Amino acid sequence: MIPFILFFLLAFVAVGAAVALIVAREPIHSALSLILVMISLAVLYLLLGAEFISAVQIIVYAGAIMVLFVFVIMLLNAGVEERTDFSKLAKWVGPILAFFMIVELGVWLSRSAIGRVVATGSPESYTPASTVGLSRMIFQQYLLPFEATSILILIAIIGALVLAKKGE
């Protein structure tokens, strides 16, 4: 019973914060509610037995990336969002599109065979050893993609520097 209560509590917080992201007029409020979504997702990852991903979610996502967002919001002094109405199409088609996507995905996912799986797989093969197994996979099977991400990060650093420097 307790796992279900915990799940629904976290799901409620995540969905509520995502709605708050849409409703908020100021970008800083949106950023803070997005941090709340990320923290509740990190706890959900713990429920799913992915401790390493949960820690990375807190450190990289809720920590580094969102601090970058908040920093840029402060730097650009982004105040209350201006309401302009140049695009009527987005206003009418957008909600319909999002609604159908949520309904379709929800119905399909809850009816699919994989959805009925209650993951009770042998715990010793997954949960306690998940961080060890994950590091083995990253540094053995997925070593080349892992090295490629370091090049990607280098390119991103150079790109950010080039874009953000003062134009001559």
Partner 1 sequence: MNFSVIPISYYLVLSAVLFGLGLLAFVFKRNIITIFMAIELMLNAVNLAFVAFARAHNQLDGLVFVFFVIVVAACEAAVGLAIVISVYVNRQTLNIERINLLKF
The stretches of 112-142 forming alpha helices (DSSP H) are 123-126, 130-136
Quote the tokens at residue 43.
Answer: 């706890």
Residues within window 30-59 making contact with partner 1, judged by CB under 8 A? 30-31, 34, 37-38, 41, 44-45, 47-50, 52-53, 56-57
Residues within window 113-132 making contact with partner 1, judged by CB under 8 A? 114-123, 125-126, 130
Of 36, 55, 58, 78, the one binding partner 1 by CB under 8 A: 78
Burial of 77 (0-12, 13-18, 19+ CB in 10 A): exposed
Residues within window 135-164 making contact with partner 1, judged by CB under 8 A? 137-138, 142, 145, 149, 152-153, 155-157, 159-161, 163-164
Coil, strand or helix: which one is 122? coil
Of 9, 98, 128, 143, the one binding partner 1 by CB under 8 A: 98
Question: Could you say whether residue 95 binds partner 1 (CB under 8 A)?
Answer: yes
The stretches of 81-142 forming alpha helices (DSSP H) are 88-111, 123-126, 130-136
